[in-house]
Amino acid sequence: MKIHYPNGQPYQVKRIQQSKGKKLIYGNRGMTLEEDLNETNKFYLVNRIAVIHKKPTPVQIVDVDYPRRSAAVIKEAYFKQPSTTDYNGVYKGKYLDFEAKETKSATSFPLKNFHEHQISHMKEVLFHGGISFVILRFSTTEEVFLLEAKDLFVFWNRMVKGGRKSITKEEIAQFGYNIPLGFQPRIDYIKLINQLYY
């Protein structure tokens, strides 16, 4: 049986063999958080639910090699400026802006994954009445959480004052919201945004 996303791309179910004696696990576990969110955002767009896009990273190309007329190879490039957050868009007349991060740790989320300019950007979004949050994935357990920016700031400030340099999984579960993985959409964060803001 062939399954396709609304955009026509095939959905691939990967079969993963665990160590001997353990049962097989089925599912699309090879997808990164970014790939899952991009597919989710395509679903939202096609179904006219929301318009959310991944922000391009501004890059200054310095050196290009042209081995053939039909091919160019970038040899040297630099980031023009620090990027802000990963995604932005509009849902029900409100501006949405969020960062997506994943970790291999099963017990905590390192705050070093965030940068000062991203925190400042999210604060500005909230100041101007937008909705800002982070989507965090624990890749070893395939658990995904939405943590509002205002709650992220509490943990960030704790670190800045010399406290813990990570957010425990228990804290994320307490202050954040679990997003169960689905089929279409894969990571239905808009459902949570509806509950929290509308």
Mean pLDDT (whole number) for 11-36 = 53
- The domain containing residue 37 runs over which residues? 21-56+84-197
Please report whether residue 74 resides in a domain.
no
Two tokens at 2?
Answer: 């062939």
Average pLDDT of span 131-143: 95
Q: Does some domain include residue 175?
A: yes
- pLDDT tens figures, 42-88: 999 999 999 999 987 666 677 777 777 777 777 776 655 566 888 99
Q: Is residue 137 part of a domain?
A: yes
pLDDT digits (tens, 9 = 90+) for 92-126: 999 999 999 999 999 999 999 899 999 999 999 99
C-alpha to C-alpha distances, 34 to 41, 102, 156, 183, nearest whole angstrom: 10, 9, 23, 16
Q: How far apart are CA 104 and CA 25, in angstroms?
A: 19
Q: What is the structure's pLDDT at 5?
A: 47
C-alpha to C-alpha distance for 164 and 138, rounded to whole angstroms? 19
Residue 175 main-chain phi, psi, to 5 deg: -95, -20
User: Is residue 86 part of an annotated ligand binding site?
Assistant: yes
CATH number at residue 153: 3.40.1350.10
Q: Is 195 annotated as a binding residue?
A: no
Any domain includes 65: no
Tokens at 182, concatenated: 């689905």
**pLDDT score recorded for residue 10:** 55
Q: Does 142 belong to an annotated binding site?
A: no
Question: Do the annotations mark residue 99 as ligand-binding?
Answer: yes
Establish if 4 belongs to a structural domain: no
Q: What is the pTM of this model?
A: 0.74
Q: Would you say residue 7 lies in a domain?
A: no
In this structure, are residues 120 and 93 in contact, taking their beta carbons and an 8 Å threshold? Answer: no
Alpha-carbon gap, residue 135 to 40, rounded angstroms = 13
Q: Let me know if residue 78 belongs to a domain.
A: no
Total domains present in the chain: 1
Averaged confidence pLDDT in the chain: 83
> How much of the chain exceeds pLDDT 70, in percent?
77
On whether residue 3 sits in a domain, the answer given is no
